[in-house]
Amino acid sequence: MKRASVVLAILCFVATMCASVTARAQVFANIPQFSGDINITPMSAPAAQGKMYFGGKRVRIDMNMRGRETSMIVDSEKQTTYMMMPQQKMYMEMHASNARSGGLSDVKPFDANNPCANNPETTCTKEGTETVNGRTCDRWLLTKGTEKRTLWLDKKLHFPIKTVSAEGSTMEMTNIKEGGQDASLFEVPAGYQKIEMGGGMRPNQ
């Protein structure tokens, strides 16, 4: 369970950085659907690899850390996030109204002209335009109090292709492919058992 908690924490980090567009997907209606590989190196946990699928108003993130598989689906229309554990065929359901849903209440869209537009506590300074993994990105320095991180925001997709914190944590997307995504990717598979976060993560009867 401890390892599963670490994976969930990593997924929440990815959702905040990569799946932010879904909070107000209608603002970015012209963003193409796409998929891409994700590599994360957090400071307090082992490295993790995975894949993200952007389907317009829904995002799916699959992650693997030391053989532990975990998936997240963020559905902006339902304002609901699903955390899935494929090996156990179980899932948890969290709603936007739950302020303690693993930090997902802070998920918000990125404005290509000012990524901090919806976060008054953070300031953004544009540092130029660079090519990262074949994608044209604007490089931004985000500052919140004493915390700083650099973000490379894809000019077409409005997603961060790469982020680096001052402490050294990194997230990078590679092998990005634009194109429609299968609707079944964004549904909890049949046969998965719903569990509750409280009470020791017991199955929902």
d(CA 89, CA 192): 5
Report if residue 203 sits inside a domain. Answer: no
Report if residue 201 sits inside a domain. Answer: no
pLDDT band, residue 13 (cuts 50/70/90): low
Report if residue 44 sits inside a domain. Answer: yes
Residues sharing a CB contact under 8 Å with residue 205, sequence separation 6 or more, in sequence order: none
Q: Is the pLDDT of residue 109 over 50?
A: no
pTM value?
Answer: 0.78
d(CA 120, CA 148): 15
| Averaged pLDDT of the chain | 78
Chain-centroid distance of CA 12 in Å reads 7
Best CA proximity match to 173, nearest among 147, 154, 148, 149:
154
Report if residue 185 sits inside a domain. Answer: yes
Report if residue 202 sits inside a domain. Answer: no
Q: Residues 9-27: what's their mean pLDDT?
A: 49
Q: Is the pLDDT of residue 21 over 80?
A: no
Q: For 6-10, 42-46, 135-139, 187-191, which range has the lowest pLDDT when averaged over its residues?
A: 6-10
- Of 199 and 130, the structure prediction assigns the larger pLDDT to 130
Q: Residues 25-47: what's their mean pLDDT?
A: 76
Report if residue 65 sits inside a domain. Answer: yes
pLDDT of residue 118: 73
pLDDT of residue 116: 83
Q: Are 124 and 107 in contact (CB under 8 A)?
A: no
Report if residue 129 sits inside a domain. Answer: yes
pLDDT of residue 112: 78
Q: Is the pLDDT of residue 82 over 70?
A: yes
What percentage of the chain exceeds 90 in pLDDT?
A: 35
Domain span including residue 139:
2-196
d(CA 47, CA 171): 10
For the chain, the domain total comes to 1
Where residue 32 sits, what CATH number does that domain have?
Answer: 2.50.20.10
Report if residue 205 sits inside a domain. Answer: no
